[in-house]
Amino acid sequence: MSKDPPTKSPLAESTEEVYEGTKKYKKFTAARESTIGSKGKAGPIKAPAHLRVTSRFDYQPDVCKDYKETGFCGYGDSCIFIHDRGDYKSGWQLEKEWEEEQAKKKREAEYDFLLLDPEQATELGDGPPSSDDDDDDLPFACLICRKEFTKPVVTKCGHYFCQKCALARFKKTPKCYACNAPTGGIFNTATALIKKTATKKRKAEARMAKRPKVARTSSSGAEGDQDTLTIEGLADER
């Protein structure tokens, strides 16, 4: 009795051409050793004994150079740098200045008779700042030479320069140094800036004039040399 060869079922024939996903893909390139090793790990992995940490210390803050040196920045509020006029110092510099200041106060403690009344201090500007002394956005230095103003002038666009610097700039180009706007050769006298500078100078002179003068005299006697402090105007009041 002859046996017929087994016939393939239609289902088996159809499975040969069925797409079974990416898992059935074959790779013909050699895989990396690190990839092969990582696949075999299971469970918790031991942390490395040594870690490399990268740190960055920013000891120099991003301060706007133009605003710090001249009090004006052409970018205004859109400037990406800090508009600050303060000085940034290291810790050892602050400690050294503090020690020097304390030593100076200790040496001058016996001569510290120059204190004024609160009313006089407010009038002379030694007290708390008043509303008149608020910052009115006027620069204190020329934007070109980075020095104190000499015969300040103001352009049509509202920027302040020294007269000499403005004329020298106009010889090269008629545009403003700050905003590149055409100046048209018009440089007006900076009346507001001159008035502000004169007011500060007058207050400083009045402050120095109002303070009493201290004179030191030495006298020799049987007990030795003795130093005497004399305050002008104090003896008359007594």
All domains of the chain in start order, with CATH: 121-210 (3.30.40.10), 212-237 (no CATH)
- Residue 203 confidence (pLDDT): 83
Residues (pLDDT < 50) of the chain are 11, 113-135, 221-223, 237-238
pLDDT value of position 182: 87
Q: Give me the pLDDT at residue 139, please.
A: 82
Cβ atoms within 10 Å of 73's Cβ, excluding its own? 19
Distances (CA, A) of 113 to 100, 124, 208, 231: 21, 17, 14, 8
**Cα→Cα distances 157→147, 168, 175, 221, 227, Å:** 21, 18, 10, 72, 61
Place of tokens 């800036």: 193
Is-above-0.75 flag for pTM? Answer: no
Report pLDDT for 3: 57
pLDDT digits 0-9 by tens, 116-129: 444 444 444 444 44
At 72 the pLDDT is: 86
